[in-house]
Each structure stands twice: as structure tokens, then as C-alpha cells.
Amino acid sequence: MKRPTQIYAAFIDNPITALGTTTVAVYLLVVIGATASLGDAAAACTTWPICSGATNDLTMAVATGHRLLAFLTGVLLLATTYAIVYGDTSGRVTAPIAVALVLYPLQMAHGALLSITAGSPPIPWLHLGFGLTIFGTLVLALAWQLEYETGSADEPLHSEDMECANSELSSVATILSEQPLGTRLKGRMFAYFQLMKPRLMWLLCLVAVAAMALAAGSALETREILLTIGGGVLAIGASGTFNHVFERDVDRKMSRTNDRPLVTHQLPKRNAILFGIALTVLSTIIFLQLNSLTAALGLIAILFYSVIYTLVLKPNTVQNTVIGGAAGALPALIGWAAVTGRIGITGIALAAVIFVWTPAHFYNLALAYKEDYARGGFPMMSVVRGETTTRKHIVLWLGTTLAATTVLIWFTQLSWLVAVTTAFVGIIFLWATIRLHHEQTKQAAFRAFHASNAYLGAVLLAIVVDAIVI
């Protein structure tokens, strides 16, 4: 059992532990603050610093808990400042911590005003704004300190430096052709299924369902869900198929993709194109059963992913997956439009969460498959800017995702379920990302990648349950 002095030493002698702990504490404060319950608590608990007055226990507990945590977080911030000043830290960390030190007492004062004015102080959104700014400064300080402690001057990779991935897999078609008819048919069916990129579907469909739940709540109809998911699966399948067609020559060069159906000639390219067109038509027909806006958004998503991302962004710019994140954000607008027939601000807010989550998701794969992407000649962040910069960007985009989720919770008045989920799984995602900095292995990158999917999946599921059930 560690003695207090040992804990103190571990905290003060380890700026990343200090920064990580304080970042998490601020995030918990902000998330609690964004939930409806704190709004009610501010109105119910009008004395400061101790709550008094008759109100139901939960509201009082939320208000008291928020204040206690705010006090503890203030102590953590001071201890972190001490660790920064006296520890071995990057000089860049000083500025964001200084901003946090200035804003924190102002935030506490505005919080007191929130209570004393029973939840209606001047500029009410200032409390969330200050809270997110303090959170942002801590995420920035953490990213810079992680870079300072674990970074290295790794050189960019060039495709000419990489030998091609082995291509013995191209004999798959030959092997298949020698099989009995039944096996050949099953193999061909599976090849078409692979073209549709089925592994992406569960999370992309969950994005659309979460948007529908936010739009319709408990009034969400089964028909709307089935048509949206049905059309969405076909649209994702169409865009995945065109992506395979356009990338078949490059896929051959990469070990992760050189077993794909068009690389191994399991299917003629012409058939794949016709398959993609058929899926596009079918998805449009299904989306039209909902409304024309949903069908138009489905076509836009197919075109954006298949053409803009695959042919324009991915091979040409290091920002390919940041801008390309719009592809995965579109299902949020599709789900909202499926229910409302228009594009709503809440649908856009959910789409924004997916958009900023995408780099924090993909950059882990860019690290794990760095050599592969260099072989393919793709200007991925890890290839062009190196692993250290890529890891730093994962922290920054992760922080942005947590902040965007908090704004969504505040904006939609979602309850404690989403708050607890984003806090709990967000901490796991942050922990996996910090571990990635220290371990710098493919395994650590895949762990953070799966943590990114778990985070988004859990938050979206919580939104669906919160919006429909709670």
C-alpha cells in the first residue's frame, strides 16, 4: 500500500500523471455540468458554497458533488502547476497551464453566480465555455508533454523505400476455380459481401440510429429504422464497392489489402462496378420511401466517399482522413433527415462528433499500418509527418471529440446515462492513447483503435437508450 508521500512523489515527479489526472477531473466536471441535472441543481441549490434548502436528494447530490469535485480539481490543478514548474517538462506546457490557472477561479466565481441567481446568471453559456476552454488547455498541455517525453525525430517514409507486399494471394482465383460449383458460388457470394466493407457497417448504422433517436425520441417508428438501416447498409456497400474498384491497383501493394476480391481476381471489375451501381439504385429507392432529402444525402455520401475521399483526398493530402471524416459523419444527417425530412442543428451536432472522432480513430491505424501506407504511396500522417506527430494529433482529436460530445449532451439536454458513458469510456480511450505514447507498438495502436470504436459505439448506444427510453 503506497504511503501518501509516495503518491505525492509519483504525482509531482510525473507530469504526465499530473496532467492526465487533472484533465480527467476537469472532463468529469464539464460532463456533469453539461447534463440537465446540473441545470436543475443550480436552480435548486441557491446558497454557496454549501447547498441548503428543500429540494429532492438527487439534485442536491449532483450540485454538492459538482462543487466538491470542482474544489478537488482546483487542488489537482495547483499540484499539476507545481509538477510543471519543478518537473522535467516541455517549455510549451507553461502557456496552456497559465491560461487554465487564470480561468479556473473565474469559472468557480461564475459557478457561484449560477447558484446564487438560481441558474440564470449573465451569459449562462459562459460556464460551459470556460469549462471546455480549461479542458482544452489541459489536453493541449498533455499532448505537448507526451510528445516531449516520448517523441523522437522519426523520418518520413517514402514508397520507393518499401518493397512491395507479397502477391502470392493472386492465385486465390485459380484455387477457387478448381473447387466444386457449390464452393465456387459460396466463394463468389462472399467476395461480393467483402466488397461492401461489412466491418464498418455496425458503427455507421449506429450513427444514423442515434440521430433518429435524437430526432424522434420514443415516437421513433420501426418502419423508419428498418428503411434507414436497409438503405444505409446498401449505400455503405455501394461506396465500399466503388472504393475497392478504384483502389484495386494500390490495394495490391499493401499487405492489409492485397487479399481483397478485386486484387485476387475473385470477381471481374465489370461485375463489381455493376454491383456498386445496383446497390446505389437500391439504396436510393429505399431511402425514397422515407423522403427525397434522405435519398439525396445517401447519394452525396456515396459520391463523397467513393470519389472525393478515395480518388481526390486519400492519395493527395495529409489531411485526407480529417476531411474524409465527413463521409462517416453523413449518416448522422441521413438519420436526422429520415425522421424530420430536413437537416437539423442537432443532426449537425452529432455529425460534428463523428467528424472530429474520425482522426482519433484512424490515426491509430495509420501508425499500425505505416509501412503499408508508405508502400501504397498514401500521404498518411504517420508516413508524411512521422509517428510522434501522429500520436500527438490523436490526443488533440480525442480531446476535441470529448468536448464535442459534451456540447451535444448540453445542447440536447441528454441525461446522466450519456454523461457517465462518455466519461467512463472516454477515460479508457484516453488511457489507451497515453499507453500508445509509452509503448509505441502495433499492439498499442490497435488497442487505441479498438478503444476508439468502443468509445463511439458506447456513446451512440447510450444516446439511443437515453433519447428513446429515459
Ligand X SMILES: CC(C)=CCC/C(C)=C/CC/C(C)=C/COP(=O)(O)OP(=O)(O)O
The site for ligand X (CB under 6 A) is made up of 200, 204, 232, 235-236, 239-240, 243, 247, 257, 298, 301-302, 305, 309-310, 314, 324, 327-328, 330-331, 334
**Preceding omega of 331 cis (within 30 degrees of 0):** no
For the bound state, the minimum distance from the C-beta of residue 45 to ligand X, rounded and expressed in Å, comes to 45
Interatomic CA distance for residues 307 and 301, integer angstroms:
10
Q: Choose from ligand HEM, ligand X, none: what does 305 bind? Cβ within 5-8 Å by kind.
A: ligand X
Smaller CB distance to ligand HEM: residue 15 or 324?
324
Angle, CA 98 vertex, CA 97 and CA 100 arms, to 5°? 60
Q: Choose from ligand HEM, ligand X, none: what does 275 bind? Cβ within 5-8 Å by kind.
A: none
Q: Choose from ligand X, ligand HEM, none: what does 330 bind? Cβ within 5-8 Å by kind.
A: ligand X
Smaller CB distance to ligand X: residue 63 or 234?
234
Smaller CB distance to ligand HEM: residue 188 or 256?
256
For the bound state, the minimum distance from the C-beta of residue 287 to ligand HEM, rounded and expressed in Å, comes to 18
Q: How many residues comprise the chain?
A: 470
Interatomic CA distance for residues 83 and 449, integer angstroms:
30
Alpha-helix residue ranges (DSSP H) falling in 157-221:
172-177, 181-195, 198-216
Q: Choose from ligand HEM, ligand X, none: what does 243 bind? Cβ within 5-8 Å by kind.
A: ligand X
Q: Choose from ligand HEM, ligand X, none: what does 399 bind? Cβ within 5-8 Å by kind.
A: none
Smaller CB distance to ligand X: residue 151 or 276?
276
Smaller CB distance to ligand HEM: residue 97 or 211?
211
For the bound state, the minimum distance from the C-beta of residue 316 to ligand HEM, rounded and expressed in Å, comes to 14
Would you tell me how many other CB atoms lie within 10 Å of the CB of residue 88? 12
Angle, CA 214 vertex, CA 212 and CA 216 arms, to 5°? 65
Phi and psi of 60, rounded to 5°?
A: -65, -40
Interatomic CA distance for residues 158 and 163, integer angstroms:
11
For the bound state, the minimum distance from the C-beta of residue 256 to ligand HEM, rounded and expressed in Å, comes to 5
The 8-class DSSP code of residue 306 comes to: I
CA distance readout (Å), 383 to 333, 363, 368, 372, 375: 32, 11, 11, 10, 10
For the bound state, the minimum distance from the C-beta of residue 131 to ligand HEM, rounded and expressed in Å, comes to 27
Smaller CB distance to ligand X: residue 401 or 421?
401
For the bound state, the minimum distance from the C-beta of residue 327 to ligand X, rounded and expressed in Å, comes to 4
For the bound state, the minimum distance from the C-beta of residue 26 to ligand HEM, rounded and expressed in Å, comes to 27
The grid cell for 335 is 438519420
Q: Choose from ligand HEM, ligand X, none: what does 365 bind? Cβ within 5-8 Å by kind.
A: ligand HEM
Q: Choose from ligand HEM, ligand X, none: what does 364 bind? Cβ within 5-8 Å by kind.
A: none
Maximal CA-CA distance, the chain: 82
* Centroid of chain to Cα 93: 25
89-102 burial code (b ≥16 CB/10 A, e <16): bbeebeebbebbbe
Q: Which residues are at the interface with ligand HEM (CB under 6 A)?
A: 199-200, 203-204, 207, 256, 321, 324-325, 327-328, 354, 358, 361-362, 365, 453
For the bound state, the minimum distance from the C-beta of residue 467 to ligand HEM, rounded and expressed in Å, comes to 18
